[in-house]
Structure 1
Amino acid sequence: MKVIQEKLPASQIGLEIEVPADVTQKAYDDTVRKLARTVNLPGFRKGKVPKQILIQRLGSNRIKASVLEDLIDDSLKAAIAQENIEALGNFQLKSSFDDLISAYQPGEAFTFKAAVDVPASVTLNTYKGLSFKAEKTEYNPADLEEFLSQKQREAATLVPVEDRAAQLGDVAIADYEGRYVNAAGEEEGEVIPGTQAEDFSIDLEEGKFIPGFIDGFIGLKPEETKKFTVTFPEDYGNEEMAGKQVSFTVTLKELKSRELPELDDEFASEATSEEFETLAAWKESLEAQFKENAEISTKNSVRRYLLEQLAENNSVELPEVSVNEEVTAVLTQQMMEFSRMGIDVNRIFTKDMIPKLRETARPEAEQRLGNSLILTEIAKVENIDFDADKFNDRLTEAKAELKEGFDEARLQEAIKEELTLEATLDWLAEQSKIEFVPVGTLEADEDDFDTAEEEE
């Protein structure tokens, strides 16, 4: 069998296959015999239909179509085996099937074209000595103090207030409703859906709700009613309300202040699930956690921008079948996360929405798959392996979490792959020239770039 290969984009191999004359004749004869045994024609017993009558009744094109369905499939499998091609998934017929029917003649050589997906190909160019910026998260003792203050507020006792007006830090129980404001500054229309509540508990803290809403309660005493106007942000989630002025009518029903517990050893022992005998011991543990979180955030920033550099300086061709599998993996992960949050996934992942969700998930899938393949190739070239102790620890943790109903061999392979990729990222970071900048710097640069693009 004569086979001509052609490298195609998207990790595909094009094949031009010439089927020998004797094979095309045998395929035709076999198909006719099979049809003669199985087709029912009036006036003939099953399996006793003469060949010429069968061809006349069924039509030449119908018979040739039946021949080609098997002939193309069998010939493609034989060509893949002959050429030692590592094919993935199903083939794609590149020739027009109608044209093939017209061209096919039993006992003559027959040529058709097809394409098959093959494993992704990675081309490594530059991955050592990369230069890039990353954000460094510094431990800030003020964050620890804010955390402790928040714990105090959560454990506070709410005490009714009757002799003063509302102030920041209080809890207000109120009724409110909102209406749009017209160009003349007057209320108009009915109450806006979603802007009405009764006996609603509101923490009077800066940053809560939309700008100006909390300020409207300050100075208000129980049983008093007040009107004030706020402007919804341009990027507000509800596009209909974004940028609009809304007049709120609020009635303060009750006002409560927080009586904070003392920040002492007793509070430390009661405020956590762990056993801390002293406030100092709790603070020491929290400080270690905050410092570790800062290191993790810094490492994640390094990895993020390192991966961007790898994608820019190296290339990978992804087969469609692998991309589709990764898209499924992304959506499965999203479903699991939604389920853990108590969200009904059946209302999101509907039959009508699946195509759109797959389209939306594709960029992330391609990025994840591309990053993984580039890192795997680097690990292979540089002989980077995972740490055995980390593997044993990670395996023990995973088995304890899963408990039962898992394939241990597949679990081990997944952990090995994950640890190898992590080790490769760490190795690459050591080989790179990294300029650390304050947190928020790079995100701000990206926002400025996006704005500049929009202005153009």
Structure 2
Amino acid sequence: MATAVETLDKLERRITISFPISEVQSEVEKRLKLRARTAKAPGFRPGKVPMKMVAAQYGYQVENEVLNDKVGQAFSVAANENKLRVAGYPKIEPKNTEGAVEGSLTFDATFEIYPEFVVGDLSAAEVEQVKTEVSDAEIDKTIDILRKQRVHFHTKGEQGAHGDGGEPVAQNGDRATLDFVGKIDGVEFAGGKADDFAFVLGEGRMLPEFEAATLGLKAGESKTFSLAFPEDYHGKDVAGKTAEFTITLKKLEWAHLPEVDAEFAKSLGVEDGDLAKMRADIKENLEREVKGRVKAKTKDSVMDALVKAVEFDVPKALVEQDGQRLAEMTRQDMAQRGMNVKDVPFPPELFATQAERRVRLGLILAELVKANNLQATAAQIKAQVEDFAQSYEDPQQVVKYYYSDRNRLAEVEALVLEENVVNYVLGKSKVTDKMLPFDELMGNNAQ
């Protein structure tokens, strides 16, 4: 039996559930008899253990199972009868003796329900639609990056097939191999000494004073200089201290970048070495990357607009669940990166703001999809999978990869559904086009 639904807060509700103790006792006895058929105990054959011993061994566990089942069933019936959309899990607590029915067990089930809301007129919602062009300049920058990835180093000053690299003096762009030793107050410190240490000048891998001291040296030369470690230096033992370093340049090499010719094009997969085709391929890849990033930025703008346009209370239970999920995802991600996070706490509260937004958007998107028939169609899912596959050497194999696993296909379906919502909102809202420079869109990764 369940009482009428009590409203405790905007979304919080309570139902009082009760049922006769006799029902619980009867079900417990029934389950114990079933358990007795296979129960084992020293000195008894299986199934011949006395009921008193079975009850002593399993009674508490079986009673809890029966209570959980009874309360769960009663709550489910009450929620269905009252047409309640329960968010999260109910909190079940025994009700105090006051108000309880004699001979019955009584529990309070406190829970939240999903909010009722409608996504109204979106004509006033403001959305920024990003646009970016891929020009010859971006293709040239990409080619430069590809050349640097295929760089070869040659001893500076020695004549070779590609020249001698100029005067054998350390300059930015050269690779220096050196021995060094650092001391603080005349004492060597951990990590302050290395032999045959190589780095490329000008890449910012070393502290500025270290690179500055190396510039201008020739192979075989040494130099002693002072280096002040920053206060926020990752090595806590030396942070904020000044060390004296002695370096000896053992080898100096200059960087030879490959020429942009047929061989270079072949190294990028253009079989006939056609440079025009190479540039076309690079442009196609860049445009595919730009398309994905532009869609992501436009989607973010649409989601921001929806959060502002649709107001409602969000179930705390769903936010807490998503906060826990985000905390666990963060822990796993950091562990995969090689970090030791075994004893590091990840309180879900740290993710509360992000979780609240995710839950809110999930509810809004679900309402938009239901109200406007924006479900992903089979044709849309297929087109999206084929689009993913185009950037791989064997597209058909990638298509099979997605269609062989329901979870992978569900991820694609979710992306298509989001895109349907984005397109719907773009058609209903106030859209402003914004031209975004290529480098800004790519986060300056192209430089």
Note whether the superposition's TM-score is higher than 0.5.
Answer: yes
Structure 1 residue 427 corresponds to structure 2 residue 428: no
The change in CA–CA distance for 1:121 and 1:171 in structure 2 (over 3 A counts) is farther
Q: 1:286 Cα deviation (Å)?
A: 1.1
Q: Please list, as runs of the form range in 1=range in 2, the aligned pairs for 1:203-352 lying within 5 A after superposition.
A: 203-229=200-226, 247-269=244-266, 271-315=267-311, 317-318=314-315, 320=317, 324=321, 327-328=324-325, 331=328, 335=332, 339=336, 343=337, 348=340, 350=342, 352=343
> What's 1:436 paired with?
434
> What's 1:144 paired with?
139
CA distance in 2, matches of 1:295, 1:407: 27
Query: Which one-letter code corresponds to 1:273 in the other structure?
Result: G
**Are the aligned partners of 2:323 and 2:348 in contact in 1 as well (CA < 8 Å)?**
no
CA distance in 2, matches of 1:30, 1:18: 19
The change in CA–CA distance for 1:337 and 1:404 in structure 2 (over 3 A counts) is farther
Q: 1:226 Cα deviation (Å)?
A: 2.1
CA distance in 1, matches of 2:28, 2:291: 73
CA distance in 2, matches of 1:126, 1:403: 41
CA distance in 2, matches of 1:381, 1:435: 28
Query: Which one-letter code corresponds to 2:376 in the other structure?
Result: F
> What's 1:76 paired with?
75
CA distance in 1, matches of 2:359, 2:277: 44
| Bigger mean CA deviation after superposition, 392-401 or 217-226 | 392-401
Q: 1:202 Cα deviation (Å)?
A: 0.6
Structure 2 residue aligned with 1:166, among 161, 170, 174?
Answer: 170
- 1:18-66 deviation line (CA, Å, top 9, x unaligned): 64xxx5464587599889999xxxxxxx779xxxxxxxxxxxxxxx999
CA distance in 2, matches of 1:209, 1:122: 57
1:214 aligned counterpart, secondary structure: helix
**Are the aligned partners of 1:331 and 1:361 in contact in 2 as well (CA < 8 Å)?**
no
1:257 aligned counterpart, secondary structure: strand
> What's 1:42 paired with?
none
Structure 2 residue aligned with 1:367, among 338, 341, 357?
Answer: 357
2:249 aligned counterpart, secondary structure: strand
The sequence identity of aligned pairs, in percent, is: 21
Q: 1:220 Cα deviation (Å)?
A: 1.2
Alignment RMSD, CA only? 4.7
Q: 1:2 Cα deviation (Å)?
A: 5.1
CA distance in 2, matches of 1:235, 1:395: 46
**Are the aligned partners of 2:261 and 2:273 in contact in 1 as well (CA < 8 Å)?**
no
Q: 1:406 Cα deviation (Å)?
A: 8.7
Q: Please list, as runs of the form range in 1=range in 2, the aligned pairs for 1:74-113 lying within 5 A after superposition.
A: 75-87=74-86, 90-93=89-92, 97=94, 100-101=96-97, 104=100, 106-107=102-103, 112-113=107-108
- 1:120-165 deviation line (CA, Å, top 9, x unaligned): 6555356444225576544354343233233333434322125621
Q: 1:204 Cα deviation (Å)?
A: 1.4
2:4 aligned counterpart, secondary structure: strand
1:418 aligned counterpart, secondary structure: helix
| Bigger mean CA deviation after superposition, 357-366 or 201-210 | 357-366
Q: 1:219 Cα deviation (Å)?
A: 0.5
> What's 1:54 paired with?
none
Structure 1 residue 114 corresponds to structure 2 residue 114: no
- 1:197-230 deviation line (CA, Å, top 9, x unaligned): 3211111124444444433321011122223455
Q: 1:318 Cα deviation (Å)?
A: 3.9
**Are the aligned partners of 1:135 and 1:441 in contact in 2 as well (CA < 8 Å)?**
no
> What's 2:38 paired with?
none
The change in CA–CA distance for 1:127 and 1:228 in structure 2 (over 3 A counts) is farther
Aligned residues: 401
Q: Please list, as runs of the form range in 1=range in 2, the aligned pairs for 1:187-198 lying within 5 A after superposition.
A: 187-188=184-185, 190-198=187-195
Structure 1 residue 392 corresponds to structure 2 residue 382: yes
The change in CA–CA distance for 1:298 and 1:87 in structure 2 (over 3 A counts) is closer
Query: Which one-letter code corresponds to 1:218 in the other structure?
Result: L
2:177 aligned counterpart, secondary structure: strand
> What's 1:448 paired with?
none
**Are the aligned partners of 1:118 and 1:319 in contact in 2 as well (CA < 8 Å)?**
no
Query: Which one-letter code corresponds to 1:423 in the other structure?
Result: N
> What's 1:17 paired with?
16
Query: Which one-letter code corresponds to 1:4 in the other structure?
Result: A
CA distance in 1, matches of 2:64, 2:377: 57
| Bigger mean CA deviation after superposition, 368-377 or 74-83 | 74-83
CA distance in 2, matches of 1:359, 1:267: 52
TM-score by length of 1: 0.68
Q: 1:166 Cα deviation (Å)?
A: 0.4
TM-score by length of 2: 0.69
Query: Which one-letter code corresponds to 1:433 in the other structure?
Result: V
- 1:232-280 deviation line (CA, Å, top 9, x unaligned): 56765567766665554322111011233322122211x2134252122
Gaps of 5+ in 2: 36-49, 53-62, 158-166, 390-395
